[in-house]
A and B are shown apart, each in its own frame.
Chain A
Amino acid sequence: MNKILLGLVLGAILGAIDGMTAWFTPAVRAQLAGIIVGSTIKGIIAGVLIGVFARKVHSLALGIVFGLGVGLILAFIVAQMQHGYYFEIMLPGGMVGLIVGYATQRYGRVSQLQQT
């Protein structure tokens, strides 16, 4: 799987899982569907950005740092929109970015065009 597609798929899956955990917070359970959709979209955006970065820069360390950064920034934007829950939103968001950053560098396939 190429790096961008891997980032997209992984970002979507982890984003969706992130969103689903909102079910355990009774106060926001009513908006669960919206949270899941929003979190998945956030994961996809982060995944694509990290995947594009991984395609350009072949460095595990930089990939992880970039992933963490993108995850934190997007999570911060979401937390701003929620007017709170910074820790609960940003920590998992950063973690998702870190995992996607690692995975795209470690497992994402380099395209044939790039190899030549």
Chain B
Amino acid sequence: MKRLSDSVVARLQADMQVPDLTGTRYAVVRYLARGGMGSVWLAEDTILKRRVALKVLDLVAPAADLPARLLQEARILASLEHPGIVPVHDAGTLADGRAFYCMKYVEGQTLAQYIAERNLTDRLRLLERIAEPLDFAHARGIIHRDLKPENIMIGAFGEVLVMDWGLAKAGAPGLRSGENGSARGSILGTAGYMSPEQARGDAEVDHRTDIFSLGAILWFLLKGAPPTDQPAVTATVPRPLAAVCRKAMAADPSMRYQSAGALAADVAHYLNGAPVRAYRESLLERAARIYARHRTAVVLVAVYLLMRLLFILFAHR
């Protein structure tokens, strides 16, 4: 028997991965990306004549519960109607037996691409818009558990979208989870952005694991790279922001910000020239911050007082 070459085998494998959309309203356009459970394809909705993204399980699913998890992901997304979360249109099973769901196709840039050409202020303003959908999800008892720059997209109109909720866990609004989703003790997530408790495989991971990841994303926004250890002060990172990162990424969840909004608010304080909660500034730093915030007013009053002083001096000559 003649053996097939590696390239032919690879080609056959790639062709087999193309989802069989027979009997659906969708037609494959091209491959987009690889996800944790399967692949994402650009498709055409033949009825509405619009482009959509299809997340499809791999043909050979490594775990029996993957179809249920994909459906769970679709249901979680469907329950989160928020401008910062990509909407789901449809879910089901393809003719080849693979589970899939259909979502809005987001044309835009990843966080890494977007920040490459932005200044610090623009980059920091993104954090608030990442935190909004997170807060929204947390309020509904849903934890993302895989927040990282690759899962943040900036759309064509500048909208910020939190993507890939494949590891998301739905729990009670009290935010304790563990009864569904991943198995107890399993470790899921991305190193560098994963909280210590998630890395340990703790069952009682709560929304503060996302706060840790958000802190790591803040560090990424500042440095363009994930933090390797506890964020340290460097020449390019202002001390208050390094302190915000440290607080968000504290090993003990109770020492972190208790909501994504609180973290974003502290960053907004920094942007507005106000003191941040995470950092106790010295008198000199406070004076410098106030001066930077009210520079014109300080200069005007100083000029006025100087002028007055000169008048007094000249009057005594």
A interface residue numbers (CB < 8 A to B): 14, 17-18, 21, 24-25, 88, 91-92, 95-96, 98-99, 102-103, 106-107
Chain A residues closer than 8 Å to B308, beta-carbon distance? 17-18, 21, 92
- In angstroms, how far is the closest chain B Cβ from the Cβ of A9? 14
Contact status B303-A95, CB under 8 Å: yes
Chain A interface, DSSP helix/strand/loop, else mixed: helix
Interface residues of B in 268-307 (CB under 8 A from A): 296-297, 300-301, 303-304, 307
> Which listed residue (A25, A92, A102, A107) contacts B307, Cβ 8 A?
A92
**18 more A-B residue pairs beyond the given contacts A25-B315, A99-B297, with a C-beta to C-beta distance below 8 A:** A17-B308, A21-B308, A21-B311, A24-B311, A24-B315, A88-B311, A92-B304, A92-B307, A92-B308, A92-B311, A95-B303, A95-B304, A95-B307, A96-B304, A102-B297, A103-B297, A106-B296, A107-B297
B304 close to A99 (CB less than 8 A): yes
A107 CA / B296 CA spacing, docked (Å): 12
- Residues of A near B315 (CB, < 8 A) are 24-25
**With A21-B311, A25-B315, A92-B311 given, is the CB distance from A102 to B300 under 8 Å?**
yes
Asked whether, in the complex, the Cβ of B303 is within 8 Å of the Cβ of A106, the reply is no
A-B pairs, top 3 by smallest CB distance, nearest first, are A24-B312, A99-B300, A95-B304
Q: Could you tell me the distance in whole angstroms from the C-beta of A46 to the nearest C-beta in chain B?
A: 14
**Min C-beta distance of B112 to chain A, whole Å:** 37
Interface presence of B316 (CB below 8 A): yes
A-side contacts of B307, CB under 8 Å? 91-92, 95
* Contacting pair B296 A21 (CB below 8 A): no
Of the listed residues B297, B300, B307, the one surrounded by the most CB atoms of chain A closer than 10 A to its CB is B300
Q: Jot down 10 A-B pairs with beta carbons below 8 A, ordered by A.
A: A14-B304, A17-B308, A18-B308, A21-B312, A88-B311, A95-B303, A98-B300, A99-B300, A99-B301, A102-B296
User: Whole-angstrom distance from the CB of B123 to the nearest CB of chain A?
Assistant: 26
Instruction: Give chain B residues whose Cβ lies under 8 Å from the Cβ of A21.
Output: 308, 311-312
Contact, CB under 8 Å: A24 / B304:
no
> Cβ of A106 and Cβ of B297 under 8 Å apart?
yes
Q: For window 96-148 of chain B, which residues contact chain A by CB distance below 8 Å?
A: none
Q: What's the nearest-Cβ distance from chain B to residue A100, in Å?
A: 10
Q: How far is the CB of B128 from chain A (nearest CB, A)?
A: 22
Closest chain A residue to B311, Cβ basis: A88
Contact residues in B for A98 (Cβ distance below 8 Å): 300
Interchain nearest-CB distance for B268 vs A (Å): 19
CA of A102 to CA of B311, assembled, Å? 23
A88–B315 Cα gap in the complex (Å)?
A: 10
What is the distance, in angstroms, from B69's C-beta to the closest C-beta of chain A? 48
* Chain A nearest Cβ from B292, distance in angstroms: 15
Residues on A with beta carbons closer than 8 Å to the beta carbon of B301: 99
What's the Cα separation between A34 and B192 when bound, in Å? 71
Distance in Å from the Cβ of B149 to the closest Cβ of chain A?
37
Docked pose: A91 CA to B307 CA in angstroms:
9
Query: In the complex, A8→B308 CA distance in Å?
Result: 21
Tell me which of B301, B304, B307 has the highest count of chain A C-beta atoms within 10 A of its own C-beta.
B304
What is the CA–CA distance of A18 and B307 in the complex, to the nearest angstrom? 11
Bound-state Cα–Cα, A25 to B314, Å: 10
Closest CB in chain B relative to A28 CB, distance in Å: 10
A18 contacts which chain B residues (CB < 8 A)? 308
